[in-house]
Structure 1
Amino acid sequence: MKYFLLVFFILVLAVVGLQAYNLFIQRRDYVDELMVLMDEAKRLETENQLLSDDLEYYQDDENLLKEVKARFNYKDPSEELLILVPALEE
């Protein structure tokens, strides 16, 4: 009877130990995943801040017009457009 209890106790300890080990591995995986998600959240917050800054900048009509002129060579009918091309170095 004592032998049976000792074997049973050892088996219970082994099962509990295995479950504890599995929980430890699972916790480690969750911590790693949490770190990845926190890094992504920080990156997204930074990107969101940059987009908010751009949105605020382009809310001003003068800034928007300046950007359109710079990107698309836009000009008002009352303006003259002068494009300077640097000379080729030989």
Structure 2
Amino acid sequence: MVDHLAISVGSESVVAEPTARLRAAAVPILDGPRRTGEGYYGSHVPDPEGSRIELAESVRGVEAAAGGRGLARRVDHECDVLAA
């Protein structure tokens, strides 16, 4: 079972800005944005079906935080997270 999907967006501002836009649109923010005890910066938002999506500064940080548990795959793709 997948716990959540983490998307590496490359920088703190690309985590914080879409999170703020989602919050302003009344989308519930599950966590963050914040720097975790493991040292990565991210926020968690729900998708329309309630699954957890993480916007992460770096997937490498998420991989390290997982302590080798699970699978993290990096996808290099530029996109506007809130594109219609």
> TM-score, with normalisation over the residues of structure 1?
0.19
Higher strand share: 2
> TM-score, with normalisation over the residues of structure 2?
0.20
Higher helix share: 1
Q: Which has the larger radius of gyration?
A: 1
